[in-house]
Structures are given as C-alpha cells and as structure tokens.
Amino acid sequence: MKKIIRTDKAPKAIGPYSQAVQAGNTLYISGQIPIDPASGKIVEGGIKEQTAQVMKNINAILDEAGFTFSDVVKSTCLLSSIANFAEMNEIYGKYYSENPPARAAFAVKDLPLGALVEIETIAVKM
C-alpha cells in the first residue's frame, strides 16, 4: 500500500509530486532543495548553508514518517557545480557519521529555483 507523507516542517512540493511516498517499509523522499519552509524561499548563503537546509528538510520528512537518518540506505546528490562537492560532503557527512548510505553525486546544468544542491533519499525500516 502506498502512503503519501506530508509535513509543514519541510517545503511544500513545487510541482505535481509528493514530499515523500512510503511503500511498505520503504520511504522515497523527493529531491529536496534548500527552501526554508517558513519563508518558502531558498536560504541565503553558499553551498554549506544550502546543504544544511536540505538536510533539515530531509530530517523533517523522515521524522514525519517515523524514520531516522540511520534508516537511510541511498542518497542521490545533485550539485549545480562539482566544485561544491567537498563543502556539500562536509555538511552531508555530519548526518551519516556511522554506517553511511550508498550514494551517487552528480553535477547538473541547473537546479530548480537556482539552488546549488538537491538531494533525494531512500530509507528502509528493517
């Protein structure tokens, strides 16, 4: 059975998609960009600030669904520039200090709303 996950503690979807979908014991979180859910705008600052906001958004969705970062099995990180990889990785790594998930990271031409980073996440309850 498919369950749609929504929380006001993460940005509303900016298109025809859900913040997350739970199918059985697996949670699929849509790509999160660094929108502050309170203002509805991209946070100010560079890649570190933007990555921190993305991770806060992911945390809010995980929490709403009853998951934690320890349940995350796969992340896909999209960067507007591969030059931002090391700084993104520094912030991202703080959330996965032990048993980090599998991950892919790509540089892409553009991200929605001019974001520097977008991260999608898959979590599984064992």
CB count in 10 Å sphere of residue 1: 5
pLDDT at 95: 97
Q: Give the pLDDT confidence score for residue 15 in this predicted structure.
A: 87
Angle between helices 47-65 and 85-94 (to 10 degrees): 40
Which tens digits make up the pLDDT trace of 15-71? 899 999 999 999 999 999 999 999 999 999 999 999 999 999 999 999 999 999 999
> Do 26 and 89 touch, CB atoms closer than 8 A?
no
Q: How confident is the model at residue 126 (pLDDT cuts 50, 70, 90)?
A: confident
SS3 of 2, please? strand
Tens-place pLDDT, residues 64-120: 999 999 999 999 999 999 999 999 999 999 999 899 999 999 999 999 999 999 999
Taken in order of first residue, the domains within the chain and their CATH numbers are 2-124 (3.30.1330.40)
pTM summary value:
0.96
